[in-house]
Structures are given as structure tokens and as C-alpha cells.
């Protein structure tokens, strides 16, 4: 239980002096106070519901000399029970505090009453009342949270930080230290906030505060431009969060960007689930998973710092109140967005989601007008635009003071008109224009984007392949290739695997100890590629992969991110691995990295072959039935599909393959069936090669269907697409 010594703050002394009372003027006596009978009657009237008459009787009791501190507080209660007497109630509370400025609960009532009154003057009065509360007890009820919901005023924040500092000098409290750090950080006093972080770590007796300390270390270093130190602290703080208090500051950073379903379900989740969601959010958006920082986090710190000061909602009426009373003239939906607890105007959400617009046409210096984005990450649609306007209410001519802007369902600038209504905004065009603006706004508010591009990019081709393992796991082989730069073979490779929610499953990075060069055609006249792979043992399911290649010499980066499905291979059941399209398959073990069951498989991850280049297929068959002689027998159907299929060419393509037992033709496909025999065993490796000279340039789909001849009801199927180019 914290013990805070009572303190008379600045406003308390002023009110006290105005009325002319001193603390000793209210010393208790043994005699009943003057006006007590009248006051008791007023209390009875108020309890009976007659607030109007009670207020008159309370006033009479005060005239009779009843103690002003208690009397004016009771009078305020009677005014609050009446309609439209909020200002009278405020005046009564102020006079009560002038008589006795000590009661912290009366200061709280005054602050709450000013919040109800609303308006700039009332908000400033509420701020001063909260200062008095913080002087007496900085942890009183929800006073800090209520104060923290005002718009950000750095000068006011510094005053609160000074009050907290005085308490900390008398008795150091880690929770209060964290609040002071938060206030300093929001006010932009980063050096002071960082010094307080160091002080807190020196005075900390338990590690339970460490996740929040690391959060503030992260965002403060990020604001100072020390992004590697900042990201490492932020990331570790989130990973170490074990309580809801630990998670809260990380959540506040992302709350405006999270989906409505996540925000609505958030309170019901466990801390572990909350942490997983936040970690997944950052993992999904990390453009280079193996760089020292999450570049999206760095960008988000820049956006947050800009939005916090530029889009502060400073107006005479709270936006939530305007919405509650159905104020007119508002255009498209206004969300009353808050960022880190503070009210912001509608531009803040768009800026936090998408950053600085590519083009904007503003009205005045505050750029409240037309914002245009070219974004391919947000959707298949490559761009969207949003209109803003000043909020108006109680008639189109009246505007509220402040710097705030809200979404508009009609263009508000010449640039907006040119984009959404290039032919003019005639009455019959309005519905069509509104629908188009609605579509862009929906895209903007349901997505976020960051158009990141490294200074130099490597082209990266990737081809994951599933193979069966013993037990319940699958072997995922991630083949990849990148064009070989002249004389360069110094690469670092990294693979990160995430589950469906982008929670990290495994992460591996290493130098390419062994690389194989392959060419995209037999003559070697086309590009050369460096080929490598990762092998991962993993349970079947849906995952996200992120592969990054760094050229140590040129500094170029290759990145590939996609979702993959890892297949299950049932124990003892007939199975077929993924079909690997390769530039070369040979027998032997001379290249152990690419060896599979005695075959060296050098895939071409691009699946693009030059005409005339050999095309190899490699796949594995699992659990074929055997006859009494311990041999297996199976049929393979190869179907090639293409819109411009030359059936004769396909026949010639398979001409060297033995065991042809049938041909079936379709309008855009041909199927050739082959019969094969092999030795018994859990794994049967198959490979064959074709001369692609016979195939015309184009895209082809190859289907492989395998049927066990000893169990004709058992068949499996896999498919691959490849491209032939001249």
C-alpha cells in the first residue's frame, strides 16, 4: 500500500487565497456547526429526489455559516442531480476546494465534472485538477488513465513529469518511474526518458518490470535513430512479456492497425496468445528477416513520432461526443481514433497504416484534403485515394476550432475532383463517385503497407518439395537459385519458418559452404545460377517461409516470402513425393548435399527451360505392395497439358521412355501410360529426362499419376507447371 504525503498544489493555494481561508480556520470544535439543522434537511430532500429544493436549502445552510468545504460539496451534488446545472456544480466544487484544498476525492470529482462539460477551457481545468491529484497521490484511482486520454500537450506532460519526479525523490517506486518515462517519451524528451530508464534499472529489485523497460528502451532508441539497439530491446521485451501489464504498451503501438476482430477479442485472450499475435504481426511485415533490424518497425517508429505530434486532435469538443450526438455534415465514417491512448484525427490512422502519401493536395498548411497512394502490398489494386475535410456541425457554415480532419465522401480539392470525378461532379454522378470513394477508403482502412526496396536486389527463385520421413514428420526441401554475379560466390543464406499466425517455428542462417553452378541451357549461353537448399523436418500443416540471400561482395539481397502447405504421408500408405523439375539428375554420391536415394538432383527452381535443354523429372514413390518375389509393379500416367499442344512432339518427347502401354488424347492434353517394375522397399526413386527441342515455347502442366498394380484401387497424383522459352 503506497503512502503519499498530502500536498497543497498550485491551484489549491490559489483557490484557498481567493476565498480567504486558512487551514486553521477549520479546526473542529465540540459545538455543532452553524446551519447543521438546515443542512440535514437538505440532505433528506436530496435523498428523497427533490434536488431542486435541496439545492436552495443547501445554499441557506451555507448562509447560516455551515462549513463551506462540506456544504459546497453537497451543493454540487444537488446541482449534478438537476439538468443543465453542470457549471453551477463546478463552481460549488471549486468553492469547496478553496475552503479546504486537501481532499483528493473532491479534486477527482472536479476533474471528472470538467471532462463532462468538455471544451478547451474545461479540459484545461481538468488537467490542473489532475495535477493536484498527482501531487497528493499519483496512483489515485484511474486519474492517470483519465489524464492520459487528453490530447498530447508536451508542456502539460512535462509538468506531470516534474510532479512524478518529486515523488520519486522522496520514495522511489518502479511503477511511478515507468509512468514518468512514458510521459517524457510522449513529450519528446528522449534524453531525459533514457536517463530515467537507466535510473530505473539501477533501482529495480525484481525482473518483473523488465519487459516494459525494454519496450521503452526500444522506442526511445528508435526515436533517437539508434534503430539496431532499439529493435533488439523492443523485440526482447515483447518476447519476455508474461503479464497483461507487460503486453499493454506493445499493444497500444499497434491498436489502430489491428483488425476490428482482433481489437474486439483482445481482452478475452491469454497473455501468451496476445504476445503471439503481436510477434506474428511484426514477423509478417519484416521485409528482411535476417537483417539486424525489422525495417517495418523502424518505419513504424518514424510514422508514430510524426503522427503523435502532427495529427493531435485539438478541438473544443471531443470527437466521441460529436459522434454520440449525431452531429451533421460529417461525410464518411469517423472513427475517433486513439493512438497510445491519445485522441487523433482521421489522418492519423491512414498515416500509421500507409505512411506518407505519394501525392497529396491539401487545403492550407495542415494538408487536410486529398491523399493518394501507389501501393501493391495492400491489395491486387495498385493504388487508392482518400479525401479529407474539416468537420462541420450545426449547419454547414460552422466549423470547430482545431487542426483535425475527417474522412469525406466527396472530393474536397481540385486534385480530388480530377481523380474521382474527372468529368465533373454533376448530380447524377454523386452516387457513383461516393461508391468509388467508399471502395478506396475500405481498402485503405483494411490494409497496411510499406513499399520497402533494398538498394540492390538479387533475383531469387525457390521451389519447395515435400518428401516422406518416418514418423509423423515430413522432409521439406527448399531448393533455391540465384543468378551468379561475375566472380562472386560469397553468399549468406537464411531460412525462417513461421506457422499460420506468423509465429516463428525455426530459423537457420549460415554461409553457403557448398554451391553448385547450373546453367539454364545445355550450351551454357544463358544465365548461370548458384544453386543451394535447406532441409527442414517439420510436421504437416500450413506455414510461411522467408528465405533471404545476401551477396557478401556486392551487398545485394534476395528475398522470397510465401505460404506453403507441407503434406502428410500416411504410414504404410501409397504415397508420391512432389515432382522435382531438374536441370540434371545423375546417379552416385559425388554431391552429397543434393543426394537423394543414390541420385544427385540439381533442380531448376525457376522451372523455366531453354528450348533444347534437357528436362529431368525426379520423384519418390512410397510403400508399393510387393509380390511373392519381393518385386513391385506399377503404372505411371504422364499427362501434358497446354493450349498450343503438339501431340506428335509430346510422343517424340517420351520416345526414349520404355514400357509404353497406351496413349489417350484430349483437345488440349495427351496422356502416355507406362508400366514399370522395381524391387520392393519403402522408397522407390524414379527419374527420367526429355529433350525439350520438340516443344514449342509456352507454359505446360505435367501431371503424374501412379497406380500400384498389386493394389489397383490405390493411386496417387502430383502436378507441376513448367515453361519453355527460346
Q: Which string of DSSP letters, residue by residue, matches 417-476? A: HHHH-TT---GGGHHHHHHHHHHHHHHHHT--------SSB---EEEEEEEE-STT-EEE
pLDDT of 679: 72
Instruction: Report helix angle 244-254 to 210-223, nearest 10.
Output: 30
Instruction: Decide if 655 contacts 689 (C-beta within 8 A).
Output: no
Looking at the fold, whether 504 and 604 belong to one and the same domain comes out as no
In a domain, 185, yes or no: no
Domain end point (choices 511, 537, 569): 569
In a domain, 274, yes or no: yes
pLDDT of 489: 62
Percent of the chain with pLDDT over 90: 57
Lowest mean pLDDT segment, chosen from 114-118, 386-390, 711-715: 711-715
In a domain, 172, yes or no: no
In a domain, 70, yes or no: yes
Looking at the fold, whether 580 and 483 belong to one and the same domain comes out as no
CATH of the domain at 711: 2.60.40.3880
Residue 596 β-bridge partners: 599
Run of H or E including 190 = helix 190-203
Lowest mean pLDDT segment, chosen from 214-223, 364-373, 487-496: 364-373
Q: Which of 365, 416, 423 is nearest to 388 (CA)?
A: 416
Determine the structural domain holding residue 491 and report its residue range.
454-569
pLDDT of 333: 45
Rounded alpha-carbon distances, angstroms, from residue 174 to 18, 143, 182, 204, 655: 38, 18, 12, 7, 80
pLDDT tens digits along 240-254: 999 999 999 999 999
Outline where 494-640 has alpha helix (H): none
pLDDT of 13: 44
In whole angstroms, give the CA distance from residue 178 to residue 212.
8
**Site of grid cell 537457420:** 508
pLDDT tens digits along 563-580: 999 999 988 889 999 999
pLDDT at position 398 over 50: no
CATH of the domain at 119: 1.25.40.10
Q: What is the mean pLDDT of residues 706-724?
A: 87
Domain end point (choices 270, 305, 340): 305
Q: What is the mean pLDDT of residues 384-391?
A: 86
Looking at the fold, whether 421 and 523 belong to one and the same domain comes out as no
pLDDT tens digits along 428-440: 889 999 999 999 9
In a domain, 85, yes or no: yes
pLDDT at position 18 over 60: no
Residue 625 β-bridge partners: none
Q: Which three cell numbers stand for residue 328?
A: 451533421
How many domains would you assign to the chain? 5
In whole angstroms, give the CA distance from residue 700 to residue 720.
8
Looking at the fold, whether 545 and 677 belong to one and the same domain comes out as no
pLDDT tens digits along 273-295: 999 999 999 999 999 999 999 99
Looking at the fold, whether 11 and 115 belong to one and the same domain comes out as yes
Cα 633 to chain centroid distance, Å, stands at 54
Looking at the fold, whether 677 and 702 belong to one and the same domain comes out as yes
In a domain, 696, yes or no: yes
Indicate the burial class of 126 (C-beta count within 10 angstroms; 0-12, 13-18, 19 or more). Answer: buried
Q: What is the mean pLDDT of residues 675-688?
A: 84
585: left (phi over 0), alpha (psi -120 to 50) or beta: beta
Contacts of 666 (CB under 8 A, 6+ apart): none
Q: Which of 173, 175, 147 is nearest to 159 (CA)?
A: 147
Indicate the burial class of 12 (C-beta count within 10 angstroms; 0-12, 13-18, 19 or more). Answer: buried
pLDDT at position 562 over 50: yes
In whole angstroms, give the CA distance from residue 131 to residue 343.
20
CATH of the domain at 505: 2.60.40.10
Mean pLDDT over each residue of the chain, to the nearest integer: 86
Domain end point (choices 127, 142, 164): 127
pLDDT at position 189 over 50: yes
Neighbours of 358 (CB within 10 A): 14
Q: Which three cell numbers stand for residue 326?
A: 449525431
pLDDT of 677: 82
pLDDT tens digits along 469-487: 987 899 999 999 988 765 5
Q: Vertex 159, ends 247 and 94: CA angle to 5°? A: 105
Q: Rg of the chain's alpha carbons, rounded to an integer?
A: 36
Looking at the fold, whether 634 and 707 belong to one and the same domain comes out as yes
Rounded alpha-carbon distances, angstroms, from residue 671 to 111, 695, 719: 82, 15, 13
Looking at the fold, whether 353 and 419 belong to one and the same domain comes out as yes
Q: What is the mean pLDDT of residues 63-77?
A: 96
Helix-then-strand count for the chain, H and E: 22, 26
Pairing of β 660-666 and β 669-679: antiparallel
pTM confidence score: 0.85
Query: Cα torsion at 210, 212, 217, 222 (round to 10°)?
Result: 140
pLDDT of 691: 80
Looking at the fold, whether 395 and 281 belong to one and the same domain comes out as no
In whole angstroms, give the CA distance from residue 82 to residue 52.
7
Looking at the fold, whether 722 and 611 belong to one and the same domain comes out as yes
Q: What is the mean pLDDT of residues 122-126?
A: 94
pLDDT of 5: 45
Looking at the fold, whether 417 and 558 belong to one and the same domain comes out as no
Neighbours of 611 (CB within 10 A): 15
Percent of the chain with pLDDT over 70: 86
Q: What is the mean pLDDT of residues 360-368?
A: 65
**Site of grid cell 537459385:** 481
Rounded alpha-carbon distances, angstroms, from residue 554 to 237, 483, 530, 591: 34, 13, 15, 28
In a domain, 553, yes or no: yes
Instruction: Decide if 72 contacts 100 (C-beta within 8 A).
Output: no
In a domain, 187, yes or no: no
Q: Which three cell numbers stand for residue 355?
A: 505512411
pLDDT of 532: 92
pLDDT tens digits along 571-605: 888 999 999 999 899 998 788 889 999 999 999 99
In whole angstroms, give the CA distance from residue 428 to residue 30.
82
pLDDT at position 620 over 70: yes
pLDDT of 330: 43
Cα 439 to chain centroid distance, Å, stands at 22
Q: What is the mean pLDDT of residues 8-18?
A: 46
Looking at the fold, whether 84 and 8 belong to one and the same domain comes out as yes
Q: Which string of DSSP letters, residue by residue, matches 155-189? A: HHHHHHHHHHHHHHHHS--HHHHHHHHHHHHHHT-
Rounded alpha-carbon distances, angstroms, from residue 17 to 74, 95, 98, 267: 22, 11, 7, 47
Amino acid at each position: 500500500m503506497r503512502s503519499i504525503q498530502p500536498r497543497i498544489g498550485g491551484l489549491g493555494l490559489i483557490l484557498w487565497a481567493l476565498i480567504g481561508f486558512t487551514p486553521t480556520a477549520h479546526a473542529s470544535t465540540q459545538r455543532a456547526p452553524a446551519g447543521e439543522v438546515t443542512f440535514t434537511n437538505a440532505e433528506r430532500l436530496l435523498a428523497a429526489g427533490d434536488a431542486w429544493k435541496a439545492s436552495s436549502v443547501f445554499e441557506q445552510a451555507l448562509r447560516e455559516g455551515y462549513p463551506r468545504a462540506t456544504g459546497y460539496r453537497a451543493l454540487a451534488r444537488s446541482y449534478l442531480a438537476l439538468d443543465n446545472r453542470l457549471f453551477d456544480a463546478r463552481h460549488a466544487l471549486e468553492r469547496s476546494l478553496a475552503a479546504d484544498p486537501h481532499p483528493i476525492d473532491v479534486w477527482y470529482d472536479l476533474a471528472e465534472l470538467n471532462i463532462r462539460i468538455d471544451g478547451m477551457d474545461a479540459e484545461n481545468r481538468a488537467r490542473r485538477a489532475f495535477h493536484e491529484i498527482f501531487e497528493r497521490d499519483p496512483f489515485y484511482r484511474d486519474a492517470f488513465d483519465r489524464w492520459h486520454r487528453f490530447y498530447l500537450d508536451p508542456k502539460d506532460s512535462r509538468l506531470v513529469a516534474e510532479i512524478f519526479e518529486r515523488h520519486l525523490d522522496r520514495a522511489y517506486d518502479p511503477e511511478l518511474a515507468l509512468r514518468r518515462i512514458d510521459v517524457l517519451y510522449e513529450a519528446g524528451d528522449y534524453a531525459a526518458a533514457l536517463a530515467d530508464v537507466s535510473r530505473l534499472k539501477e533501482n529495480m529489485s525484481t525482473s518483473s518490470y523488465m519487459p516494459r523497460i525494454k519496450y521503452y528502451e526500444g522506442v526511445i532508441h528508435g526515436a533517437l535513430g539508434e534503430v539496431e539497439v532499439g529493435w533488439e530491446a523492443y523485440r526482447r521485451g515483447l518476447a519476455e512479456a508474461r503479464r497483461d501489464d507487460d503486453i499493454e504498451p506493445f499493444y497500444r503501438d499497434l491498436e489502430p492497425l489491428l483488425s476490428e476482430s482482433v481489437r474486439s477479442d483482445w481482452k478475452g485472450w491469454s497473455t501468451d496468445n496476445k504476445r503471439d499475435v503481436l510477434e506474428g504481426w511484426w514477423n509478417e511485415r519484416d521485409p528482411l528477416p535476417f537483417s539486424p533490424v525489422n525495417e517495418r518497425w523502424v518505419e513504424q517508429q518514424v510514422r508514430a513520432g510524426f503522427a503523435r505530434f502532427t495529427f493531435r486532435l485539438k478541438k473544443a469538443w471531443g470527437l466521441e461526443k460529436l459522434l454520440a450526438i449525431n452531429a451533421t455534415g460529417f461525410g464518411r465514417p469517423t472513427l475517433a481514433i486513439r493512438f497510445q491512448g491519445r485522441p487523433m484525427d482521421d489522418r492519423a490512422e491512414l498515416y500509421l497504416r500507409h505512411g506518407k502519401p505519394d501525392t497529396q493536395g491539401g487545403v492550407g498548411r495542415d494538408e487536410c484534403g486529398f491523399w493518394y497512394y501507389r501501393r501493391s502490398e495492400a491489395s491486387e489494386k495498385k493504388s487508392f485515394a482518400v479525401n479529407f475535410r474539416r468537420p462541420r456541425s450545426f449547419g454547414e457554415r460552422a466549423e470547430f476550432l482545431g487542426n483535425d480532419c475527417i474522412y469525406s465522401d466527396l472530393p474536397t480539392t481540385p486534385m480530388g475532383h480530377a481523380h474521382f470525378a474527372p468529368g465533373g461532379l454533376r448530380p447524377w454522378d454523386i452516387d457513383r463517385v461516393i461508391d468509388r470513394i467508399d471502395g478506396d477508403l475500405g481498402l485503405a482502412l483494411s490494409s497496411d503497407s510499406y513499399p520497402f526496396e533494398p538498394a540492390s536486389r538479387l533475383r531469387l527463385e525457390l521451389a519447395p518439395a515435400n518428401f516422406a520421413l518416418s514418423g509423423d514428420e515430413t522432409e521439406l526441401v527448399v531448393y533455391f537459385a540465384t543468378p551468379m554475379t561475375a566472380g562472386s560466390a560469397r553468399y549468406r543464406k537464411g531460412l525462417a519458418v513461421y506457422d499460420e499466425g506468423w509465429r516463428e517455428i525455426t530459423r537457420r542462417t549460415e554461409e553457403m559452404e557448398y554451391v553448385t553452378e547450373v546453367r539454364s541451357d545445355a550450351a551454357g549461353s544463358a544465365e548461370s545460377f548458384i544453386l543451394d537448399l535447406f532441409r527442414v523436418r517439420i510436421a504437416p500443416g500450413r506455414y510461411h517461409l522467408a528465405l533471404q540471400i545476401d551477396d557478401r561482395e556486392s551487398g545485394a539481397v534476395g528475398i522470397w516470402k510465401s505460404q506453403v502447405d507441407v503434406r502428410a504421408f500416411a504410414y504404410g500408405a501409397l504415397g508420391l513425393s512432389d515432382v522435382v523439375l531438374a536441370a540434371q539428375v545423375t546417379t552416385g554420391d559425388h554431391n552429397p548435399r543434393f543426394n537423394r536415394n543414390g541420385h544427385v538432383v540439381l533442380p531448376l527452381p525457376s522451372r523455366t527451360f531453354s528450348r533444347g535443354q534437357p528436362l529431368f523429372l525426379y520423384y519418390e514413390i512410397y510403400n508399393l505392395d510387393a509380390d511373392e518375389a519381393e518385386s513391385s509393379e506399377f503404372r505411371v500416367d504422364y499427362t501434358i497439358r497446354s493450349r498450343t499442344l503438339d501431340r506428335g512432339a509430346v510422343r517424340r518427347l517420351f520416345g526414349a521412355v520404355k514400357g509404353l502401354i497406351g496413349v489417350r488424347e484430349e483437345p488440349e492434353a495427351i496422356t502416355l501410360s507406362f508400366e514399370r517394375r522395381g524391387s520392393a522397399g519403402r522408397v522407390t526413386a524414379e527419374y527420367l529426362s526429355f529433350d525439350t527441342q520438340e516443344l514449342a515455347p509456352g507454359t505446360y502442366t505435367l501431371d503424374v499419376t501412379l497406380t500400384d498394380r498389386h493394389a489397383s484401387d490405390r493411386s496417387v497424383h502430383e502436378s507441376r507447371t513448367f515453361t519453355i522459352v527460346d
